[in-house]
Amino acid sequence: MGTPFDPTNDPHRRYNPLLGEWVLVSPHRAKRPWQGQSEEPNNEQKPGYDPTCYLCPSNTRVNGEVNPQYTGTFVFENDFAALKKDTEVKSEKNGLFQFETEQGCSRVICFSPDHSKTLPELTDQERSDVVACWKEQTRELGASYRWVQVFENKGAMMGCSNPHPHGQVWAQQHLPSDPAKKLLQLKQYFSENHTPILLDYAEQEIAKDERVVCKNDDWVVVVPYWAAWPFETLLLPRFDVQSMHHLNDAQSTALAQILGDITSRYDNLFETSFPYSMGWHSAPFDNEEHPHWTLHAHFFPPLLRSASVRKFMVGYEMMAEAQRDLTPEQAADRLKALSNVHYKQRENTNG
């Protein structure tokens, strides 16, 4: 017989009830040496305005259109949209060969005219304007499309094509694969427990206090028990709400505050602009009630050990299932111990 199971050291699998998938946790692997790829952290101070940036106010985009002299958020139709609203509706199933056309739209959302800033470096008021913009886009696109995906790719490591602070919104007629899986899981839990899983989960995480990174009266950020990415977090409301555009003013203000908190902690972790993909899951827009659904956001950041060493989701993860090294509890402890004041602001205050 081996030594008794130690979750901080021994391999185990954790269940993700949102997707019905498992994650392999191998904490002992965090100690292994690394001689692989190192990313080049980019800590260079950007100018407030970059004449060569496609997203800065009054600059000309790739397609020749000129951006207005915007002063807050600015939304435009993606010049290289992945989805088009007028694609002919068509589907076909021929044995193993099945397709359906998709109608939708993709837009770019500039968070600020200031090229040098990122979400954590904006003021609470400026972040509130971003939240208002997300709400407006969700409301508008939800009137025409079944799924509205608000997201942000931050940093070149996550495929972001431009350092200007921006995100995107894509909307489409069909429910994409992961939200479709999630919908089934959330419905299943609700039919068995008569409460939304994510409200139960938020309450239980707050009570346990093992994976909570930060919270305010309306929101909580946790490293989920089933996190796959090293410093993955889940941003949850502490009240019943299905969609982004249903947030009231106080809830939106509290959201702007906690967004500043978690993204500042992320940047403080390795004192670098922390890359991630984040996105919002509002309930599908299909004219049905969704009492099982709770609005939430995922942050999927790739960095593992430093500003230059990332987690690769490759071989085993591509072929079998997600795998992580440090435990979610260790990741939460690291993030929780950090200041929520952005390191650049501290440097400025300290002269």
- Phi and psi based region of residue 286 (left: phi greater than 0; alpha: psi -120 to 50; beta: remaining): alpha
Minimum CB separation from ligand H2U for residue 78, in Å?
4
φ, ψ of residue 181 to 5 degrees: the values are -65, -45
Question: What residue type is 146 in one-letter code?
Answer: R
Q: Which of 46, 61, 146, 187 binds ligand H2U (CB under 6 A)?
A: 61
Q: Which of 118, 128, 168, 243 binds ligand H2U (CB under 6 A)?
A: 168
Q: Which of 166, 245, 292, 296 is catalytic?
A: 166
φ, ψ of residue 210 to 5 degrees: the values are -105, -25
- 174 flagged as catalytic: no
Stretch that binds ligand H2U, among 96-104, 156-164, 201-209, 222-230 (CB under 6 A): 156-164
φ, ψ of residue 337 to 5 degrees: the values are -75, -15
- Among 324, 338, 263, 275, which Cα is nearest to 22's? 324
Report which residue's Cβ sits closest to ligand H2U.
61
For 67-105, give the DSSP string.
PP--SS-EEEE-TT-S--TTPPP-EEEETTEEEE---EE
Q: Which of 25, 54, 122, 255 binds ligand H2U (CB under 6 A)?
A: 54
Q: Does 83 bind ligand H2U (CB under 6 A)?
A: no
Give residues with Cβ within 8 angstroms of 351, minimum separation 6: none
Q: Distance (Å, rounded) from C-alpha 235 to C-alpha 255?
A: 9
Binding to ligand H2U (CB under 6 A): which residues in 88-147? 108
Q: Does 162 bind ligand H2U (CB under 6 A)?
A: yes
Q: Which of 73, 118, 153, 263 binds ligand H2U (CB under 6 A)?
A: 153
Q: Which is nearer to ligand H2U, 160 or 338 (CB)?
A: 160
Site string for ligand H2U, 275-314 (x = CB under 6 A): ----------------------------------------
Q: Does 62 bind ligand H2U (CB under 6 A)?
A: yes
Output the CA angle 266-229-331, nearest 5 degrees: 55
Q: What residues make contact with ligand H2U under the rule CB under 6 A? A: 54, 61-62, 78-80, 108, 153, 160-162, 168
Catalytic sites, residue numbers = 166
